[in-house]
Structure 1
């Protein structure tokens, strides 16, 4: 073994380029592989810290309204969870959460003495919340923490903002939001040190505390109001699938009449708690889930990057086989068996892999903050202290070493001693052929990744520039979350309209990019409730369409005092059997008034369809309802100024006049719209980075192979130069073989890339058409990259002195 180690070290130091390429390639591959595995493991760790996590399920709803498409909600009607516990002995406990941000109260003013802060992500929670979920209590404990009305549990970051590092348990704070201003007693402070949770909350208020919590506490509606995130904990012996099959009969028992009356169908199903964060497709999520297909793609990229690094080792080892052939012959003559030689060469591979891992660790520490920023994750160095990390690192080192050294070991050990000692280095295996296959495989992977970058970029650019039916540029959004602040909106808006840079100002309870949480079933005058169509509703003033640049294609816009009138979008009008010409003047009735239709709305006009939310979804029926009293919470300012700094200073001054105690905050509408595609933007940035890594590692291997090719043809190049060959001719001579391999890779990769990217685009209702030029560009970039890398060695060989080349041995 000592002899093997000496020989290995001598070979590695003698071939510094070969060694450097392999160690750096394996190091970079290991960095990418390690981080991606750590990131994926972190995403799958959500909600696994709870003691009974395997027995906790969320109750989801598949809701289909008349004339609408099925909607998957990660929530259900308020009475469902407690009734499940009452009716089924296998249900051990239940709890419900109501996220106030989805129901109007997006921000909350918390005050303690002279200290006041704004907080988002406040929830109402049942008293059973800590019976189902486990958290670390910094102050207080889980016993009866949320039993009494107007109790609040603070997350540690929120508690520190208000109280510093002191114990706040027993102290009283005031919470001012859209539901009014109330005093709450702090009963505990918790943190998420036990693990990540899909429940995104900065404070938890007891359910029986008025507002939407009090409404939920007493609500007995089985069809509508599907907003409560509801969870059940089953007994260890219970069968979740068997309970799931009982849910249709259970829902029919309590809600059949009401569902029929409202003209909707509804299905309940149980979702394991630990799958919530990695399963997309549900509405009403408290935090943005990570699609499991994205995680699988990242794992695939991690494996491919490591494989590319291993291929470099295989190619360079077999290319330099001639230099090791006589060593193999001598070892065999003096009694070495094949297993001894295989052990030697695999040991050298493992030594290189170990060196790569040693270099990878400081690189990972250095790049960790950048990777975290890119993936919006929080992977910490403390992960390095875990046993699982070192097991993972050891596994990567062993697999990489054995994989990269396997073919060279068996190839070199197969040499016949008599032949190699006579100078014949051939054996039954075709190393050159295998090298070509491996190079083609590397470039297939590179072209696939480059094609992915091009298609993703094109789709994101399409989203950015698509006409969504409203003007998202030069729109400033102001939010008002407390009742007293909302009362001052009309006066503030009037003063904003006096600014010369302001074209229009509107107040509304919602605006594009935000989820519309209110929808009713409507039917035409002369029809009945059974023909009702589901239409989402936004409450506005008379300036809304003008402020957003929406186009009125039939009838007229709102006028001041247009109480009881609405604007429908084209899709909404069509769902009722109307169009832009026939809709104006018609009356429509909400279905919940079907038995006594005393409430109706008159259609004032029809607007051009707008993509109110993400382009992942199609356009849905939408109604703008004129109601100055309810059009609160948001102000939209359409501006013309290019000097935003000065304009925001003026708007801030007006804000301070009307709301001196509330900090001036604002956002830009186009930024809010872009947040809808945050997952795609992160995907694009992540794939860009790791694709560059893969291409760089491939390029290092290509550089090494081109250097070896030039070295092997030294005398040939010298003869050609003596006979008059130009530098260009010699360069093209060395480059054409690699270009042929790149062309073969392009032919193989193109149909695979087309299929994969076509599958990804299916998640968008509005998407680009994949064009031939995208793959042609990917292939051209791969060929250009090949030419650039190979040309470095080719030109160096072409410029060498032919006299020295002809003397070379």
Structure 2
């Protein structure tokens, strides 16, 4: 029986080559897009699920109510995790992770013998780290690997780069950063073959290694210092929710006095480690996280594309029912039941879906690097090691086969034997109406996707061109990561100022668009910390305002030797209740450990978006402190676009003044743009896959137009004989499809309007949704459909009427 079904299917496909080509290519294209998106989303949701006892591992997060501002931090104060293990028997183990990048050391100079290079993504961890987090040890083992002082574990690519074929275990490497230069013993090498983690690190340094590690081990600050990523592993069967209920008393026991003195309230929560990568809304994250809504949008796009491909199959199958009516009749006469026919036609559908997968897989392998570039990830197809790939492929074939083939199978098998044998195969079901409905649905999906492209592009363009309140173009950033390079920074600054194309050079502990980790609670004279305003700050020199193009609207800019002076933004002035014209000379107070200090305001800056447009401008101040030790960023404002010549001059000065460090720089506008990586990725994905969806829709429309022209060939012949013009005939064939696209536009507009309105809610500063965006989407859909249909309409209009009327 199955052999007969296969032969019938194969013969039908060969006999109807155009029909077969459109269906197979449509299903293959849809399957390719759908498969890649499913793999991408699956990868994002798989982070940290490889960990041993992952269901029992939680991150400690902190909610701070600080002087009128609420902060949701992905971090906690250093002593909290160890105290939890001590106080709660439910806590089996704890560990803490401190990325050096958030503390200023974004890169570290690694040296072994003659080899030396800079490395990013370095973390300090407790000696218990590998008791909580599971890694595959290529060299060494996880047992007490970080117990020894000044010990380190390397990621395999770093170990290969440093040691080549030499065994790294027991070897000593030197690490130089802004904390000084130290030797570390390599006790292990790991890789990420077990799975991806939200902790993206190339080096794991024990806390027992001086510097920030020693500071954390001795730290007893329960209110402030919320910079430590802290994790606990609970005993099996422990209820995290029940344990959380004990945290308020736990915090009061250790930190009530400190929190009261800072005017702070604090709550602790437990977040499952497996949800970290796909949860947003936390400050001070270890790595880039993705919103679940972003991933669900991608899944929706995958479903939409595959549905569009399935609609093509349904439409073309039912449209060509007349070609198979007599086959159905003959089969019924010789004893085939409706169930047998349904199996046959579903089998054809599954076969075509299978062919789609067979064609899609090599195509996907071919364009995988391009797709990975679009999504900024590194998905690989593991045919022999990942059983989930086979499950995904099987699921795609089954679902596609059922969705695409069910309606045609039941429709074709329902033909009445006597009628189809006589040549009357009309069904009681209004198949033409259903076909038109499916075309409308297909174009509703396409128009929604096109509208999404237009709105997202408009928002990204708005972000790109919005006045942020500072100058981001023609600004270069140089970073100094080691103690030696920081000592040489002054000479490099002096030489840069001599270049004719350099307008200003400033040094600071951070640059705009980057996460600002420093903040102070400040209040006016007569106030206290309980009513203080939390203000983020950057320490800098007298050139920062000029170098960044910031506007001072009251008072003055910094001057040389302006010690203990600050510039505040408008938001901070309003929050403190400082009236316009009264800021100059105002003292701002802060208190910590019973010691009150103050700074004096010399000017008010016009508000500027020093962080992304996802959030509103917060209270902020610049602190004059040019001699502070951690001013590791150099901001250079230039007045030329001939960067090739300028950078060549700068590189010569760099090698003259800075020894042992590579010449590296960042453009400030590029750094600003990186704040919107998720939105840019979404835009790239929708752009690419919408083109695929439109291509599939056009294939189906092309097939239906060809079928319609074939069915009406005699009518067209008669019209031509009676004097109808070619444009009139082309218009006659095109207008029916045009009506369907217009109906789809009417349905799609409110759907797209609502969906994109929800997406824009993620931005405090956003573009207004306008009618023209959806009108443009509709116009594009109309033009695409007209181009697709008109090719077949014109072909039919130019056909010789004698051929079509010969049998009459």
TM-score by length of 1: 0.98
* Cα shift at 1:249: 2.0
Range 185-194 or range 562-571, more displaced: 185-194
* Cα shift at 1:383: 4.6
Residue matched to 1:163: 163
- In structure 1, how many angstroms separate the alpha carbons of the residues matched to 2:21 and 2:724? 33
Range 640-649 or range 160-169, more displaced: 160-169
Residue matched to 1:472: 472
* Cα shift at 1:78: 0.5
* Cα shift at 1:410: 1.0
* Cα shift at 1:200: 1.2
Q: Deviations over 1:570-607 (max 9, x none)?
A: 111111111441111101112326x443x211101011
Cα-Cα RMSD: 1.3
SS at match of 1:226: coil
- In structure 1, how many angstroms separate the alpha carbons of the residues matched to 2:387 and 2:653? 58
Residue matched to 2:625: 627
- Structure-to-structure mapping, 1:136-175, within 5 angstroms: 136-175=136-175
* Cα shift at 1:537: 1.0
SS at match of 1:169: coil
Displaced runs of 4 or more, over 4 A: none
Q: Deviations over 1:708-739 (max 9, x none)?
A: 00001101111111222111111110111111
Select which of 601, 616, 620 maps to 1:603. Answer: 601
CA contact (8 A) 2:489 2:658 kept: no
Residue matched to 2:705: 706
Does 1:804 find its partner at 2:803?
Answer: yes
Residue matched to 2:47: 46
CA contact (8 A) 2:24 2:355 kept: yes
Residue matched to 1:14: 15
Residue matched to 1:450: 450
Q: Deviations over 1:291-323 (max 9, x none)?
A: 211111111211221111111111011111111
Range 339-348 or range 441-450, more displaced: 339-348
Residue matched to 1:332: 332
Q: Deviations over 1:242-280 (max 9, x none)?
A: 112221221122212211110111111000011111111
- In structure 2, how many angstroms separate the alpha carbons of the residues matched to 1:245 and 1:793? 70
Q: Deviations over 1:405-457 (max 9, x none)?
A: 11111111111122222222212111101101110110110011111111100
Does 1:616 find its partner at 2:614?
Answer: yes
- In structure 2, how many angstroms separate the alpha carbons of the residues matched to 1:448 and 1:662? 51
Residue matched to 1:437: 437
Range 176-185 or range 705-714, more displaced: 176-185
In structure 2, the CA distance between the partners of 1:247 and 1:348, relative to structure 1 (3 Å rule), is same
Residue matched to 1:74: 74
Does 1:63 find its partner at 2:64?
Answer: yes
* Cα shift at 1:384: 5.4
- In structure 1, how many angstroms separate the alpha carbons of the residues matched to 2:136 and 2:336? 62
Does 1:290 find its partner at 2:290?
Answer: yes
- In structure 2, how many angstroms separate the alpha carbons of the residues matched to 1:7 and 1:380? 37
- In structure 2, how many angstroms separate the alpha carbons of the residues matched to 1:385 and 1:234? 31
CA contact (8 A) 1:521 1:592 kept: no
CA contact (8 A) 1:520 1:591 kept: no
CA contact (8 A) 1:346 1:405 kept: yes
Residue matched to 2:739: 740
Q: Deviations over 1:588-641 (max 9, x none)?
A: 112326x443x2111010111110011001101111001111261011110012
In structure 2, the CA distance between the partners of 1:387 and 1:455, relative to structure 1 (3 Å rule), is same
- In structure 1, how many angstroms separate the alpha carbons of the residues matched to 2:626 and 2:9? 82
SS at match of 1:605: strand
Unmatched runs of 5 consecutive residues or more in structure 2: none
In structure 2, the CA distance between the partners of 1:615 and 1:808, relative to structure 1 (3 Å rule), is farther
Residue matched to 2:379: 379
CA contact (8 A) 1:49 1:134 kept: yes
- In structure 1, how many angstroms separate the alpha carbons of the residues matched to 2:529 and 2:57? 39
* Cα shift at 1:46: 1.0
CA contact (8 A) 1:580 1:606 kept: no
CA contact (8 A) 1:652 1:664 kept: yes
CA contact (8 A) 1:75 1:226 kept: yes
Does 1:764 find its partner at 2:788?
Answer: no
- In structure 1, how many angstroms separate the alpha carbons of the residues matched to 2:420 and 2:750? 44
- In structure 2, how many angstroms separate the alpha carbons of the residues matched to 1:796 and 1:385? 51
SS at match of 1:381: coil
- In structure 2, how many angstroms separate the alpha carbons of the residues matched to 1:503 and 1:461? 28
CA contact (8 A) 2:478 2:634 kept: yes
- In structure 2, how many angstroms separate the alpha carbons of the residues matched to 1:384 and 1:792? 45
In structure 2, the CA distance between the partners of 1:808 and 1:697, relative to structure 1 (3 Å rule), is farther
- In structure 1, how many angstroms separate the alpha carbons of the residues matched to 2:524 and 2:751? 51
Alignment coverage as a number of residue pairs: 806
SS at match of 1:396: helix
Residue matched to 2:683: 684
SS at match of 1:487: helix
Does 1:416 find its partner at 2:410?
Answer: no
CA contact (8 A) 1:532 1:591 kept: no
CA contact (8 A) 1:489 1:632 kept: no
* Cα shift at 1:653: 1.0
- In structure 1, how many angstroms separate the alpha carbons of the residues matched to 2:406 and 2:205? 61
Residue matched to 2:195: 195
SS at match of 2:251: helix
In structure 2, the CA distance between the partners of 1:290 and 1:719, relative to structure 1 (3 Å rule), is same
- In structure 1, how many angstroms separate the alpha carbons of the residues matched to 2:452 and 2:542? 45
- In structure 2, how many angstroms separate the alpha carbons of the residues matched to 1:66 and 1:612? 21
Does 1:268 find its partner at 2:268?
Answer: yes
Residue matched to 2:357: 357
Residue matched to 1:793: 792
Range 329-338 or range 175-184, more displaced: 329-338
- In structure 1, how many angstroms separate the alpha carbons of the residues matched to 2:385 and 2:783? 44
- In structure 1, how many angstroms separate the alpha carbons of the residues matched to 2:656 and 2:172? 30
- Structure-to-structure mapping, 1:498-509, within 5 angstroms: 498-509=498-509
CA contact (8 A) 2:264 2:530 kept: no
- In structure 2, how many angstroms separate the alpha carbons of the residues matched to 1:9 and 1:530? 80
SS at match of 1:488: helix
- In structure 1, how many angstroms separate the alpha carbons of the residues matched to 2:198 and 2:390? 28
Range 227-236 or range 392-401, more displaced: 392-401
Residue matched to 2:716: 717
Residue matched to 1:343: 343
- In structure 2, how many angstroms separate the alpha carbons of the residues matched to 1:421 and 1:461? 62
Range 431-440 or range 3-12, more displaced: 3-12
SS at match of 1:653: helix
TM-score by length of 2: 0.98
In structure 2, the CA distance between the partners of 1:130 and 1:596, relative to structure 1 (3 Å rule), is closer
Unmatched runs of 5 consecutive residues or more in structure 1: none
SS at match of 2:246: helix
Residue matched to 1:426: 426
* Cα shift at 1:113: 2.1
SS at match of 1:277: coil
CA contact (8 A) 2:146 2:152 kept: yes
In structure 2, the CA distance between the partners of 1:596 and 1:353, relative to structure 1 (3 Å rule), is closer
Residue matched to 1:663: 662
- In structure 1, how many angstroms separate the alpha carbons of the residues matched to 2:192 and 2:341? 53
* Cα shift at 1:695: 1.0
Does 1:33 find its partner at 2:34?
Answer: yes
